[in-house]
Structure 1
Amino acid sequence: MATARELAQGARDVARGALGLLRQNARLVVLLVAALVFMLLLEDVAEGGVMRLDTMAYELFVERLRSDALTPLMEGVTSLASVVVLAVMAAVIAALAPGKEPGWCVSVNLVGVVALNQVLKFIVQRPRPDGFRLVAESGYSFPSGHSMVSMAFFGLLIWMIWRYHRRDVMRVVWCVVFGLVIVLVGVSRIYLGAHYASDVIAGFCVSLAWLAFYTRVVAPAFLAADNREPAD
């Protein structure tokens, strides 16, 4: 009969093996989980009405947190994911990065995710929230365009920094900063009444799945021309 120590060692070995498998297939896991969550949200949206998730988010971000002091900040945050601002940032990256490849990589990513968002919105055609909107918006609501482009754009920057930047504290700092921008953009869309929470989460999920593909197939093809190796 196995002793308690042997059982514990076996459990640790299984856990290490599972973690190793997840690391080796991280993109596939992200892709599958993001796709599953998106499909669950899409199913509820197709049934019509407002989800419990949307109601809870409305109560928190609109009824409790909305204030005259916070609104300008949320408007500023949401503008970080406007196509114009991101296009300017892409141009800056293209101008400052060594070679043309990083600029092309970021630009193609932005154009692709904007086009994908428009296709999905046209297919689903969910109306935007009405009655508590602080910003003028047109078009359909699901999935959130700002959430999609922020996750895709800043998510790609996180991947590029983590892969190519030298291993120092600034690599972590920049990744955390861009991660916070992604989250805050999503929150701002709910706060301003431009989207339901389910729109925002769906947008994040679509772009996570997009990035799982883009960073595996497209981005390496662009950046290989830089002849740069991942940072030590």
Structure 2
Amino acid sequence: MESEDGWSVRGLARQLYDLVRQNKRLVVASACAIVFLALLEDVMTVESMKLDRAAYWLIVQHLRTPMLTPIMESFSALATPVTLLALLVAVAAFAPGRRPGWCCAVNLGLVVLINQVLKFIIQRPRPDGFRLAAATGFSFPSGHSMVAMAFFGLLAWFVWRYEKDRRQRALLLIAFAFIIFMVGLSRVYLGVHYASDVIGGFCLSIIWLALYTRLAVPLFLGNEDRPLG
């Protein structure tokens, strides 16, 4: 369908597609910001969210089993300080040069700082009455979820950008995505976070990664920061 001045639906769709493709970071970050702000508004004004009630019904009431609990505890442990420190050492040891290790360390440290500042400002109490793990501090946004998305998400970005073997790249990306998802799921399963805490943490870290990979990573990697050829 085309008008007299040459305008067409197909042409407009093509222009919109090209615009989105050229600004992928901005589009993803904007979508996550909308979700995060919507969750934050409900957290600050609503005592009980439908999302959290639905997640509690599905995950806590219907998925909890004695066999699954140790598995969820193991996934949750992947975002603890000891594990992340060990992973940082591994990145520093096996990545070429010192720059990737420092890049990951600064990324992780800043995300933890952002999370703690936001928790102190928002001060949402944690779920109570159905915890399977000990947890202190406030609830929104989930620190484990933010850390998992920021740390493993940055590793996934490195793999996507620099790994030339397509099969290995795909397998690693799937593995990192699975770990991030399971860390978030485990926090709801263990009863130490609401689902909105987890989703909010994921969204905030995606926004952070969009900025960090655009502004900070080139400073660390210099001329090494280039697309796969």
- Give the secondary structure class of the aligned counterpart of 1:60: helix
- Give the secondary structure class of the aligned counterpart of 2:114: helix
Partner of 2:227: 230
Alignment gaps of 5+ in structure 1: none
- Give the secondary structure class of the aligned counterpart of 1:219: helix
1:12 Cα shift?
A: 3.4
- Give the secondary structure class of the aligned counterpart of 2:128: coil
Considering only aligned residues, what root-mean-square deviation do their CA atoms show, in Å?
1.7
Q: Does the C-alpha gap of structure 1 residues 147 and 161 become closer, same or farther in structure 2, counting only changes over 3 Å?
A: same
Identical positions, percent: 54
Alignment gaps of 5+ in structure 2: none
1:83 Cα shift?
A: 2.1
Partner of 1:150: 148
Partner of 1:110: 108
1:140 has 2:133 as partner: no
1:230 Cα shift?
A: 2.5
Partner of 2:157: 159
Query: Which deviates more, 122-131 or 164-173?
Result: 164-173
1:95 Cα shift?
A: 1.0
CA deviations over 1:55-105 (Å, ceiling 9, x no partner): 000000000000001000000011111122112101110111111100011
Partner of 1:75: 73
Aligned residues of 2:72 and 2:190 also touching (Cα < 8 A)? yes
Partner of 1:63: 61
Aligned residues of 1:167 and 1:231 also touching (Cα < 8 A)? no
Question: Which whole-Å CA distance do the structure 2 matches of 1:228 and 1:215 have between them?
Answer: 10
Aligned residues of 2:146 and 2:201 also touching (Cα < 8 A)? yes
Aligned residues of 1:165 and 1:230 also touching (Cα < 8 A)? no
Q: Does the C-alpha gap of structure 1 residues 140 and 13 become closer, same or farther in structure 2, counting only changes over 3 Å?
A: same
Question: Which whole-Å CA distance do the structure 2 matches of 1:40 and 1:15 have between them?
Answer: 28
CA deviations over 1:20-55 (Å, ceiling 9, x no partner): 211111111122111111111111111141200000
Partner of 2:198: 200
Q: Does the C-alpha gap of structure 1 residues 34 and 2 become closer, same or farther in structure 2, counting only changes over 3 Å?
A: closer
Partner of 1:15: 13
CA deviations over 1:185-215 (Å, ceiling 9, x no partner): 1111101001000000100011011001000
CA deviations over 1:101-120 (Å, ceiling 9, x no partner): 00011000000000000000
